[in-house]
Every structure is written in C-alpha cells, then in structure tokens.
Copies of this chain bind each other. A is one copy, B any other.
C-alpha cells in the first residue's frame, strides 16, 4: 500500500486506488479542466468564474448576507467585498441593507444581472455536459450525487461554517 512497485499490482478490479494522493491529482485535474472551460463560458462577466458563482448563489440559494454568500463559495469576506464592487459597478447586483440587522447587507440580483446569469448558465450547462460526455447518464448523475455529498461533508466539517441549510433540504 505504500507503493513500492512502479506500476505492478492493480489486483483484479479496474479500480486500484493504489497510489496515495492520486485521488487528489485526479480531482485537481478535473477541476482544472472544468475551470478552463468555465472561464471561456463566462466570457467578459466581471470577476470571471467567481463572479458567475456569486450571481448563481444569489439567485439559487438566496443567502441572507455577504458572510453566508462568501462561506458557501469558500471566498473570504475581504475578497468578496472587491468582487461585489465589480458586480455592483456593472449593475448586476445591489447591496440592500438587511432589515433585521443594520450591519448586514443582502445581495440581490438586478434584472440585468439575471439576464446575464441566464445567458451564462446556458453556456455553462453546455460545457458541463461536454466534460461529462464520456459518462452515460446514470454514471454522470451518480457522480454528481456522490461529489455533492462529499462537498457537503467538507462544508459541514469546517468549524464556524454552517450555510448548508439551503442545499440540505434540497435533497
């Protein structure tokens, strides 16, 4: 298991997760390929992939404040400020003072932002299908469910972060 032989073993099953760290290599490689296509798909959208993810999260998850928005995406609040500045500048979102907490601000999408998001989403959905084209429908769905489950494990295990309610009861 400590991997002495270069490429022997691989006993029986087509699996053989022989080399420690390989799962990470595969994850990183898929994510890299994903992000390259993602970058093309979002085109000129301010903030690139991150900008898209903010718009998507605002629309589909409706986080209460910037903190929740950032923690869902793994973006630090100090970074989110600049990112939101760009999106506000382009009139894609607005910062609305929270009625219940005057320190907090809720991010809401504009009509313009919604249009931009929907157009980008079509392109994103397109390349996601492209990336998964080597899988049949069952395998693709199963992969998504598994990865999303793991993602939620990770999300939950980070102390001080508990912004999973939305996705939690989506399942």
Contact = CB atoms under 8 A, between A and B. Distances in A.
Secondary structure at chain A's binding surface: helix, strand, loop or mixed? helix
Interface stretch (A28-36, A79-87, A89-97): A28-36
Given A3-B60, A143-B143, A27 B19 contact: no
A38 B32 CA distance: 18
B32 A62 contact: no
B118 A2 contact: yes
Interface residues on A, range: 35 or more
Contact of A141 (B15, B49, B121): B15
Interface string A40-59: 00000000010011001001
B14 A171 contact: yes
B56 A20 contact: yes
Interface of A: 1-3, 6-7, 10, 13-17, 19-35, 38, 49, 52-53, 56, 59-62, 73-74, 118, 121-122, 124-125, 128, 131-132, 134-135, 139-151, 153-155, 157-158, 166, 169-171
15 contacts: A3-B121, A6-B60, A7-B61, A19-B56, A20-B121, A20-B124, A23-B147, A24-B34, A25-B53, A25-B73, A29-B154, A30-B154, A32-B154, A131-B150, A131-B153
